[in-house]
Amino acid sequence: MLQKEKTIRKLLLGHDARQRMRAAGRFNAQLMDYLRGFIKPGITTQEIDDLVVKYTADHGHTCATLGYLGFPKSCCTSINEVICHGIPKNETLVDGDIVNVDITSIVDGWHGDQSETFIIGEASDAARAVTQAAFDCLYLAIEALTPGCTVNAIGDAIVAEAHSRGFSVVREYVGHGLGQAFHQPPNIPHFPDRKSRQQRLLPGMCFTIEPMINEGTRFTRPDKRDGWTVRTRDGKLSAQFEHTILMTEDGPEILTLTELGPKRGHQF
């Protein structure tokens, strides 16, 4: 028990650390707002990556994904049936696509992490519906949080909403603690399980919520060739939104809110 308490205490950010995480989140949100003006039909995912690299470097910061566990690019771009970890390349976005852009910045040693799913041009009803579900699930999960609540509040909210709309929730990939490390405790599953019913989210903890919502089956198919890209097993669409959250004494604080992006209640 003593070791567990020590581990938990290490996760609790004090005033100065919280300020650093806020700064990292602000920059990451600023980067997302910069990108959104370019994400439209005709751009390639490699060009998106190039924009991330230049903007981040121009501001004196670092892209966290580049080289992380061998990942070859500075952001993730996941199109249509790709759930997560899509590798930017010379693939052009076309009218009707949906694409999740996942960016993580290191600002003075601290991480900001978020993602958005963008609808490219005129998308199908199914694409809009699964995108809307992922967005709404994220905010319902945030709204379910209170200081000291258990992690399963997140999964309970997400599963109930996704299933009510006929969609499924990916289980293999989860949210995570965030700070000076890219990935750290606590794990944040987007479905309720035994561990999530025991772990509490205490003031000072920082973590991501990033539900991946599938149009069809929840089951995934990792790409054995590149070792990163994860697709839906049935080839149907997947959408995701992500924010970095700081639990405070007053409740959850979203650190990666953008000025120009969709706000709580947005309709796609």
pLDDT digits 0-9 by tens, 8-40: 778 899 999 999 999 999 999 999 999 999 999
pTM of the full structure: 0.95
Q: Report the pLDDT value the prediction gives residue 2, as an integer from 0 to 100.
A: 46
- Average pLDDT of the chain, as a whole number: 96
Which DSSP string do the residues of 88-128 spell out, in sequence order?
P-S-B--TT-EEEEEEEEEETTEEEEEEEEEE-SS--HHHH
pLDDT digits 0-9 by tens, 127-144: 999 999 999 999 999 999
Cβ atoms within 10 Å of 73's Cβ, excluding its own: 22
Distance from C-alpha of 154 to C-alpha of 116, rounded to nearest angstrom:
18
pLDDT digits 0-9 by tens, 41-75: 999 999 999 999 999 999 999 999 999 999 999 99
What is the band of 6 on the pLDDT scale with cuts at 50, 70, 90? low
Q: Report the pLDDT value the prediction gives residue 9, as an integer from 0 to 100.
A: 74
pLDDT over threshold 50, residue 1: no
pLDDT digits 0-9 by tens, 156-213: 999 999 999 999 999 999 999 999 999 999 999 999 999 899 999 999 999 999 999 9
pLDDT digits 0-9 by tens, 68-117: 999 999 999 999 999 999 999 999 999 999 999 999 999 999 999 999 99
Q: Report the pLDDT value the prediction gives residue 5, as an integer from 0 to 100.
A: 54
Fold exhibited by the domain 2-254 = Creatine Amidinohydrolase (3.90.230)
Alpha helix positions (H), 79-221: 125-143, 152-164
Report which of 102, 77, 126, 123 is spatially closest to residue 182, judged by C-alpha positions. Answer: 102
What are the residue ranges spanned by the domains of the chain? 2-254
Cβ atoms within 10 Å of 226's Cβ, excluding its own: 12
Strand 168-169's sheet: what is its strand order? 168-169, 212-214, 238-240
Provide mean pLDDT across the span 223-239: 97
